[in-house]
Structure formats: C-alpha cells, structure tokens
Chain A
C-alpha cells in the first residue's frame, strides 16, 4: 500500500504533518509502538531536512506486511559530501534555521540510527533522495 505526501521547502509550520499521518497509519496497522516510534522519529528528521534545506519534496511510503519503505525525494541544493553530512554535528543549516531549533547537524545520523537500512544519493544543484527501510518482522532485520 502506498501513501504520498508533498513537502514545501521553508514551511516549518507544517513540518511533521507527514510523520503524524504515518504514525496514525502505523497505529491502525497495529505496528508495535517501539518499532513505530523509530519509524516516526527517522521520518520526522527526514521531513524537517527537506523543509530546512530543499525547495520542495515528495515522501512516498510503501507498506507491506514485512517492511516499511520510505522514499524522500527532494528538489534542492543536494549534498556535496554525503560522508561529511553523516557526521554528527556537521550542518549547513542557516543561522535562521538553527535559531528555530533545527539544523543541529544530528539529522542524518539520527535517521540512520533509527532505521534498519538507509540509502542516500544526491546530485549537486538538483536534489537528494533518501530511502529508509524498517523491517516489521524482527528476524528479517
């Protein structure tokens, strides 16, 4: 089953709406709340990343009985050095964004910690694509 959410860059007011919607879906699917918490935390980080750094983005959530596969595809500046961006504390967020309490440089690392699998690809000047995979059955992780 697939769900899609559009994200507007710079709209911090609505950052988190997609995560909340996905959380509701996971509750309806009776996904264990500790698993669901990891998914929602990773997704929220990713959602805020799009709002903070990109111009626009689309989140696609694919759910089947074995796994949740989330694809976040944004149009934005892209990431020059993904390894560096993965380091805790590294951030390119503007001072204004940091003042709002975002952009502490923990986003990608936190996402990776909360997901079973994370893939990132990026093209400078075009955008970034992040895939988050969570397995719903513990033995497949």
Chain B
C-alpha cells in the first residue's frame, strides 16, 4: 500500500488478463499514448507510457482488461471503516432510491462512517484561489483528473508548470476527515479510509501519487463492484434504516466531478474540456501558444467527466441528470450552502498542496541529440518503405509507432506483413521465418481454424 517514488514506480490499475485476451487490436489502436503492443497473441501495456485513462478498457470486446482493486475484505482490518463516496455513485441509482437508503446499505456492507468526497470543495476552492494568487502561469490546469496529469507528464512536458497544485477533493477530504476522527478521540491506526473509484486513474493516483509522498487513502474499492453489492442489499431489504451522514455538501460539491463543475467557479476566462482526445487536441494548440488569455482549464479524460468513468454502471447522461436535480434541490432548500463550521481543521495549509510535477517525456528517441538525430533519420527512411495505412498487423498501433520501435530496437522491419512480402520476393526472408514472426506477434495458433470468436459459428462457447 505504501506509495513509492514517482521516478521509478508507475503503478497501473489496468491489467490484461492473458487467458481472456484474444489478441485483437482494439485496445492498441485507441490508446492515446501508444502504450500497447501485441506480443505472443496478447496485449502488453508499456508501463511508462500508460496514463490509466481507461480507453483500452472501454474498447476491449471480451473484457480482458480489468481494473486491479483492493479486496473489500481488507476493510475488516480496521475498527473504524470510513467510506469516501464520490457524488457519481449516487447518480447511478434511479431517483426513487433515496441517498439515505444507499448509505444505509453501505453501513450494512460494513462501513462505520460515510463521508462524501465533495464535502471538501469549499476548501479546494480556497486552495485554488491561494494558488492562483501566488502563481502567474496562465492558464492554470486543474489537478482534478489524474489521467490528465499523467498525460501532461508524458506528452506535454512543457505544460507541467501550468498544473494547479492544489490537491483534489478526494485527498483534502481524506486528510480532513481523518484529522476530525482523531480529534474526536479515535486512534489514527484504527482508521481505514476507503475510496470508491469511478475510474482506473484514481487508483493509480492513490497507489502511486504524483507530487506527494503518500496518499492519505488506505484502499480503493471498485465502484462497479460496490454498486452491485448495494443493489443486492436494497433488494434484500426493502426498507433499510436511514443512515446518518455529514451534511457539509452543497450544490457546488454535487456538480464538481461533472463537466464544468470546476470551471464555473473560476474567475476570469475558464474552459471545460472532456474526453481525452479532445483534451489532447487542445493541449497541442495550447503548447504552441495559439490560444491566449485563458485563465483556467478544467480537463477531464472521460466523456461527461466522472459520470463517464469506466467503472460507472449507470448511463452517464442519466447520472448527470440525477446529480443536476440533486444539486437543484440542495440549492433551493435549507440544505443549501451549509454553514462552514468554525472548524480549524477546515483551514487550508501546506498540506492542501502538492509538490511540483516532474515531466517524464515519452516521445524522445534518445537523451543525446546526435543519437536522436540519427534515429530520426533512420525512422524517416523506414517510413518511405512502410505502407502507411496503419493496419496494426505488426503488433504496433500504426506504421509510425512501428518505425519508432524499430529504431529503438524493440521491433524488426520484418514485423510488417507487407515488408515480409517484399523481403520474400527479394529472397531475404523465407516462408518459414515469416511464419515464425507472425507466430511471435499473434501466437502459435492464430492461423488455425477457430470458430470460438465473435461472429463465428461457436461465438458463445
């Protein structure tokens, strides 16, 4: 559980199940950082390129990509078991299931305390304001979405100093609530803080935090799994007791994790962009200084932000609808803007911020420019011969990536099935050798009859 130094440890929550993976190209071709290759008929994730966005998870036709999670049993190691619930969990249930019932089910499942993650957004906004007044870089980029932070580290290293280094609500809430429980007399070592995550990136952020020594969160529970557990409890028990929970939440908090949840509170000119490809396109232009006078950027990897997280079971648009209604209810009732208690624990401090984010550029061909130039020359020459239509039959997502893999010594020209043909014509490659190459990429049995696939005779067997 201990987080390690970001220089050498990249924890990824996305894993490939080798016995389920059918070695197709879907995940590889959608990956926004070209972090996947196929070898021995299985998808392989390259650790230092993966940003945990989850595009591969969504694209996999056989659910071979899974999100590694902590076992729910681990909560039993702690006498005090806090569940940190993000707003999007509630959003997935039909409106007739009241929030208090959902929370009652969480208590039945075994949690002793419930704390809503977005309870801390007023503190986060205070931290934003302080950071904005102390840093002149514009635009500042929200630190909310961990997949975006990682995308900037690997693909847009020149923008790392634009990251607004105030901790997101999950960290602020975990720090605050733990301190509060301790102030109420509970021993710190008795407290387990568990976060229900809508995505893989948040898991990676907790297991291997960026700009932070260690996450205040003890364990992470997969939201998809917990959603199903809650539904089971609600089915068993039609009228569960209502559970008490802290009502620090306001409408800002309810909407925070949705698109424009942050940008609407920003002073000056703010934009909200969701979807990792939309974000990439925008950051490309921003890096060229093509856009000016923007003060704040809310960037989220998922379409519809956290409502579109890969571990969300409900429809993302319905989730947005329910949360929008809940926010409106809070706005119009006495629940609106609960007075911030005169709580010194809610003051922001150095703990509300994280350290500078280190770039870890993945695009460089070599540290040394002379060597990099030679590799680039070779790469450009290779591209004159590769067919350029990105079929992915070589086990790399496209011809450019294959050419890069070749100059880096990770692949051969003969991995390209078209180059194989040319090489065989020129008697530089034998039929047997070509077959061996295909086997090494796609597995031994790939060219044999197999009706056990989507659309074939035995597709469901």
Cα of A20 to Cα of B285 in the assembled complex, Å: 8
- Chain B, residues 278-305, CB within 8 Å of chain A (1/0): the string is 0000001101111000000000000000
Contact with A30, one of B158, B285, B365, B377 (Cβ below 8 angstroms): B365
B357-409 with Cβ < 8 A to chain A: 359, 361, 363-370, 372-373, 376-377, 380
A16 CB–B CB distance under 8 Å: yes
Closest residue of A by beta carbon distance from B290: A16
In the complex, A124 has a CB within 8 A of chain B: no
Q: Cβ of B288 and Cβ of A19 under 8 Å apart?
A: yes
Given A1-B376, A24-B363, A34-B158, the answer on whether A29 and B369 have CB atoms closer than 8 Å is yes
Q: Which of B290, B367, B370 has the most CB of A within 10 A?
A: B290
Is A98's beta carbon under 8 Å from chain B?
no
- Most chain B beta-carbon neighbours within 10 Å: one of A16, A23, A30, A44: A30
CB pair B288–A20 under 8 Å, yes or no, is: yes
Dominant secondary structure of chain A at its interface with chain B: helix
Known: A1-B377, A40-B289. Is A29-B361 also a contact (CB below 8 A)?
A: no
Count of chain A to chain B residue pairs whose CB atoms are closer than 8 Å in the complex: 63
Which residues of chain B come closer than 8 Å to A136, judged between CB atoms?
A: 369
CA distance A30 to B369 in the complex (A): 7
- Chain A residues with CB under 8 A of B275: none
Q: How far apart sit A65 and B365, CA to CA, in the bound complex (Å)?
A: 14
Provide the bound-state CA to CA distance between A40 and B289, in Å. Answer: 8
Do A40 and B287 touch (CB < 8 A)?
A: yes
Min CB distance B198 to A, Å, is 32
Q: Point out the residues of chain B lying under 8 angstroms from A24, CB to CB.
A: 363
Q: Are A29 and B373 interface neighbours, CB within 8 A?
A: yes
B290 to chain A, nearest CB (A): 6
- Pick the contact of B285: A16, A28, A33, A41 (CB < 8 A): A16
- How many angstroms between the C-alpha atoms of A85 and B365 in the bound complex? 39
A44 to nearest B CB, angstroms? 5
A41→B289 contact, CB < 8 A: yes
Q: Are B288 and A36 in contact (CB under 8 A)?
A: no
B299 CB to nearest chain A CB (Å): 19
> Is A80 an interface residue when CB atoms closer than 8 A count as contact?
no
Task: Tell me whether B369 and A41 are in contact (CB under 8 A).
Answer: no
A6 within 8 A of B: no
Q: Which B residues lie within 8 Å of A30 (CB)?
A: 361, 364-369, 372
Q: Which residues of A contact B285 (CB under 8 A)?
A: 16, 20
Contact A41–B288 (Cβ < 8 Å): yes
List residues of chain B with CB within 8 A of the CB of A58.
Answer: none
Chain A: interface residue total (CB-CB under 8 A): 23
Q: How far is the CB of B151 from chain A (nearest CB, A)?
A: 14
In the bound complex, do residue A28 and residue B157 qualify as a contact, i.e. CB atoms below 8 Å apart? no
Min CB–CB distance B124 → chain A (angstroms): 29
| C-alpha gap A24/B365 in the complex (Å) | 11
In the complex, per-residue mask of A13-51: 1 if CB is within 8 Å of any chain B CB, else 0: 000100110011101111101101100110010000000
Q: Give the contacts of B130-159 with A (CB-CB under 8 A).
A: 157-158
Distance of A14 Cα from B252 Cα, bound (Å)? 39
Cβ of A63 under 8 Å from chain B: yes
A64 CA to B374 CA in the complex, in Å?
10
Q: How far is the CB of A97 from chain B (nearest CB, A)?
A: 16
> What residues of chain B lie closer than 8 Å to A1, measured between beta carbons?
373, 376-377, 380
B373 touches A65 (CB 8 A): yes
Q: Is the CB of B157 within 8 A of A33?
A: yes
- The B93-118 residues at the A interface (CB cut-off 8 A) are none
Instruction: Flag if A25 contacts B370 (CB, 8 Å).
Output: no
Within 8 A of A (CB), among B324-376: 359, 361, 363-370, 372-373, 376
Chain B positions within 8 Å of A20 at CB level: 284-285, 288
Q: Separation in Å of the A25 CB from the closest CB of chain B?
A: 7
Complex Cα gap A16–B281 (Å): 13
The 7 tightest CB contacts between A and B, nearest first, are A33-B158, A30-B364, A27-B363, A29-B372, A65-B370, A65-B369, A41-B289
20 new A-B contacts, CB < 8 A, other than A27-B157, A44-B290, are A16-B288, A23-B287, A25-B376, A28-B363, A28-B365, A28-B372, A29-B364, A29-B376, A30-B364, A30-B365, A30-B368, A30-B369, A31-B369, A33-B158, A33-B361, A37-B158, A37-B289, A41-B288, A44-B288, A63-B373
Q: List 30 A-B contacts (CB under 8 A).
A: A1-B376, A1-B380, A16-B288, A16-B290, A19-B288, A20-B284, A20-B288, A23-B284, A27-B364, A28-B363, A28-B372, A28-B376, A29-B365, A29-B372, A29-B376, A30-B366, A30-B367, A30-B369, A30-B372, A33-B157, A33-B359, A37-B158, A37-B287, A40-B288, A41-B289, A44-B288, A44-B289, A63-B373, A65-B370, A136-B369
